[in-house]
Structure 1
Amino acid sequence: MILSAVESCDGKEVEIKWEDGHFSRFHTIWLRYNCQCGTCHRKLINELTIDRTKIPKDLIATACYIKEPGRFYIEIKDDVPVDHKTELSSAWLREHCYCDACLQHTVEVTSSLTFPDPSQHSITTFEYKDVAEGPALNVFRWLDNLILNGFNLVKNVPREHGTVVKLAEIVCPVLYQTYGKLFEVFDDGSISVFSNTNKGLHYHMDQPQYESAPGVQFLHAMKPRFDECVSGGESLIVDMFQCAEILRKESEENFRVLCTVPTVWKTVDVKMETPKYFQIRKTILETDYDNQLVAIHWNPGTEEAIQVRHDDVTPFYTAYRHFWKILHREDLRFKFRLQPGDCLVFNNRRVAHTRTGFEHNGGERFLQGAYINLDEMRSKYISLGLTLGEKVRFTKIGNRSCI
């Protein structure tokens, strides 16, 4: 609740004292642009009710007051339309205070991530039947764990072809990516796709060659084509955000370099039924306005040669090697063997994954996979939580934003 409000001497700002002792200072132009009066406030999605270019450049507040409980009013010199009064909800104003303390609180809430210790925790598991056939609360808890840890395992997923798509579509429609709506991972002696061999892979995040890489990845170990006689082929995952924060702690300079010097990812396959050519240049790490880590791109298997200024080449490879070594620290990784019917679900924008090499021994290692959009998953999670009255986590998820 507002105790008092006063415009600054020049009228370009308004200072508010709140019942809890907090002080806020708002720019007059910010208040005007966010007016919630009946004329200015949008009632439909994408609606803009007033041409903001007609609002005077220099806005001077001449009066501010509480006319009725919970409503705050500001009168502005030469405002348009004539006799317009800016009107805002006091609760909304308090929620959107942008003083240093409130901005710092927002950063602390949204930037905090949980990094499970592999020596103390195993991967959280969920039963397919509970997720696919149970109440909506089961789906919420599954997604809540995915938001919290970045990965989990769904057990006893039916072995029919394409079931992984059905599981993914519990959340939202699947993405159509380089290799289609549904992709398969097995050793077919491929000479073009390294994952379709029996060789071990490097840690990677799928398809950074896209402007927006796939968000959530599903990998389903199929029955009966995932045989226990196969030796090797263990899965490994590592939290890239944890690794990047370790890098920042150990070397701010190396962290800065990977945030500023770009690399290139490229995938070309013109022999496909639908030929593909993807190429993009971006940094491995991304930070935002508050210097919070908000995105990571990593896939050594599709990297191209960097083309950057001469003085950036050596610092880049120094930082790159440092980060690479952090990823391979054994105390940071989860290592496990998928069982037939298991489906590994993970945030591809937060978690890197790989596998060890394997020998068939007369059997076969066969997986089917699918992707969904990260923002769609988050929307489903938050919407479910609000509908069910459950507490939701408003934390960053790797989608290039901390909110």
Structure 2
Amino acid sequence: MSLRYSTQLLRRLAIPLVQTSRQAHKRGKATMVSASLRADLGTPSPVITSALPAHHLTAKVIFDSNMTADFKYIWLRDNCQCSKCVDPSTKQKLVDTPALDVNIKPLSLTISENGMLEITWSEDGDIHKSEYDPVWLHKYGQSFMHNSFESDMVDVDQVYQRPEMELWDRTTIWANFPEMSYKEMMESDNGLRQWLDLFYRFGVAVLRGVPTEENKIQEVVKRFAYVKETQYGLTFDVINKPVEGSHLAYTGVALAHHTDMNYREKSPGMQLLHCLKANDPKLSDTDPGGRSFFADGFRIARWLEENEPAAYHVLTSTPVRFAIKNEGQQYSALWPILCTNADGDMTEVHYNNRTMKPLQAPTHVVTPFYHAHKLFSEKLTEQSSGLEFNMVPGDLVAFNNRRVLHGRTAFDATKVDRHLQGCYVDIDEAFSKYDSLRTKQWSTQP
């Protein structure tokens, strides 16, 4: 039996939550794709060896791997792939799903000479024929496989497009530093694909040699998406603003590890920071301050799940209020520190001590929450967990704001001339471009 249980399944089986840490290493490395589906890469296409009616309005399909799947007739009819049911151009469904008979039964169920599953239906006196490719059935039938506990949360259309994310600490990130030249990324699709690949896998990617011109950051974004406008505008300047009520980011104070805008309905997925001005640390006998640092929140969550499962459960199940009032605008939203999907895999981190409001929870939860929060925070700030460096003019760093936490050391604004320009991007736009470039790469390979 697969060890890759979901948290929901564990609860149904009445297995204590603390035991989930045993399965943590088997999950998809924090919202990664199914291991068995990935194992299909490079293997021969599945072949249907037999198909026959089964109980409860079901077709039992047996593949050459001896894997069987029970497909409900209503599911098969709803997902007919013929040109009457799916638009050939847009691939959008034309089937009126609510109009289908939930108890529909086929007239016939056969395997064609070319290995397709063929089903004939009777609908209002007319005959409708459906054909299902075995590769398609195997791809979308993972949830119906016998002896399989694969995630129903997996987007099977992306399984063959994206690699696994790589969780990192200080040692591993420096051994595989995710950087690329601005010129290479901007001038070729291959360079852009490689840079987006770094961003997807590590959650952080650096461009070197970006011209130090204001709004150059928008040109970079236009290579793969568009800038997401927020209450701070299309772009924002991280520079000392000696104005009462200014955001703390616009001062010289230290900013501890955090994710941005947890107080919004949905925090921006991708953030970019472009260094326009900064003191050269090589020209100073002492650290001028203002060093940028990052940490992989997914890796730290994984560590917590494996070593402190009770604390992990508290942080994934306790909603926390994040709010801000800045320059006359007020925002508020409720999130757990660690967000998971139905399988218990990490999807988002929401962590910002500056905008976290007083905890509103049952009394018996308060002490466990503070204990869990402290454990996560201590691991987060360990030197071995982070990536830290001085951004110099021409550096541009992009990071997944729902995975990678960022911050900076303090600096004296009267002595340090530091100017970063930043912006946000809808992360699904960046990943959509990434997927299309990977598909294009495969299609051109011999």
Same fold (TM over 0.5): yes
Q: Does 1:135 align with 2:211?
A: no
Secondary structure of 1:294's counterpart equals strand
What is the rounded CA distance, in whole Å, between the counterparts of 1:90 and 1:351 in structure 2?
Answer: 39
8 Å contact 1:13–1:61 — kept in the other structure? no
Q: CA separation of 1:54/1:81 partners in 2, compared to 1, >3 Å: closer, same or farther?
A: farther
CA-CA distance at 1:42 after TM superposition: 3.6
What is the rounded CA distance, in whole Å, between the counterparts of 2:254 and 2:148 in structure 1?
Answer: 48
CA-CA distance at 1:191 after TM superposition: 3.6
Amino acid at match of 2:170: P
Matches within 5 A, 1:111-190: 112-122=164-174, 123-132=177-186, 134-190=187-243
The counterpart of 1:259, out of the listed 316, 319, 337, is 316
Residue of structure 2 in register with 1:103 after alignment: 150
CA-CA distance at 1:377 after TM superposition: 0.4
What is the rounded CA distance, in whole Å, between the counterparts of 2:163 and 2:272 in structure 1?
Answer: 25
Secondary structure of 1:17's counterpart equals strand
8 Å contact 1:151–1:346 — kept in the other structure? yes
Q: Does 1:20 align with 2:72?
A: no
Residue of structure 2 in register with 1:35 after alignment: 80
Q: CA separation of 1:358/1:120 partners in 2, compared to 1, >3 Å: closer, same or farther?
A: same
Residue of structure 1 in register with 2:257 after alignment: 203
What is the rounded CA distance, in whole Å, between the counterparts of 1:46 and 1:37 in structure 2?
Answer: 10
The counterpart of 2:268, out of the listed 214, 217, 233, is 214
Q: CA separation of 1:357/1:390 partners in 2, compared to 1, >3 Å: closer, same or farther?
A: farther
Amino acid at match of 1:245: R
Matches within 5 A, 1:360-371: 360=413, 362-371=415-424
Matches within 5 A, 1:60-99: 60-61=105-106, 63-75=108-120, 79=123, 82-98=126-142, 99=145
Q: CA separation of 1:270/1:332 partners in 2, compared to 1, >3 Å: closer, same or farther?
A: closer
Amino acid at match of 1:198: G
Q: CA separation of 1:312/1:363 partners in 2, compared to 1, >3 Å: closer, same or farther?
A: closer
Amino acid at match of 2:165: L
Residue of structure 2 in register with 1:295 after alignment: 348
Deviations 1:100-156 (A, max 9, x none): 537269969789431234235423321112222x21111111111111111122111
The counterpart of 2:300, out of the listed 238, 243, 250, is 243
What is the rounded CA distance, in whole Å, between the counterparts of 1:44 and 1:218 in structure 2?
Answer: 36
Q: Does 1:379 align with 2:432?
A: yes
CA-CA distance at 1:263 after TM superposition: 0.6
Gaps (5+ residues) in structure 1? 392-403
Q: Does 1:50 align with 2:103?
A: no
What is the rounded CA distance, in whole Å, between the counterparts of 1:105 and 1:313 in structure 2?
Answer: 33
What is the rounded CA distance, in whole Å, between the counterparts of 1:45 and 1:66 in structure 2?
Answer: 28
Amino acid at match of 2:263: Q
Residue of structure 2 in register with 1:401 after alignment: none
TM, length-normalised to structure 1: 0.87
Residue of structure 2 in register with 1:5 after alignment: 51
Amino acid at match of 2:139: E
What is the rounded CA distance, in whole Å, between the counterparts of 1:278 and 1:85 in structure 2?
Answer: 54
CA-CA distance at 1:382 after TM superposition: 0.8
CA-CA distance at 1:26 after TM superposition: 1.6
Q: CA separation of 1:390/1:245 partners in 2, compared to 1, >3 Å: closer, same or farther?
A: farther
Q: Which moved more, 1:80-89 or 1:203-212?
A: 80-89
8 Å contact 1:209–1:278 — kept in the other structure? yes
The counterpart of 2:381, out of the listed 328, 353, 369, is 328
Secondary structure of 1:304's counterpart equals coil
Secondary structure of 1:101's counterpart equals coil
Q: CA separation of 1:45/1:315 partners in 2, compared to 1, >3 Å: closer, same or farther?
A: farther
Matches within 5 A, 1:346-361: 346-360=399-413
CA-CA distance at 1:28 after TM superposition: 2.1
Q: CA separation of 1:50/1:363 partners in 2, compared to 1, >3 Å: closer, same or farther?
A: closer
What is the rounded CA distance, in whole Å, between the counterparts of 2:306 and 2:75 in structure 1?
Answer: 37
CA-CA distance at 1:27 after TM superposition: 2.0
Amino acid at match of 2:391: L
What is the rounded CA distance, in whole Å, between the counterparts of 1:112 and 1:363 in structure 2?
Answer: 40
Q: CA separation of 1:270/1:361 partners in 2, compared to 1, >3 Å: closer, same or farther?
A: closer
8 Å contact 2:78–2:95 — kept in the other structure? no
Q: Which moved more, 1:175-184 or 1:79-88?
A: 79-88
What is the rounded CA distance, in whole Å, between the counterparts of 2:136 and 2:333 in structure 1?
Answer: 40
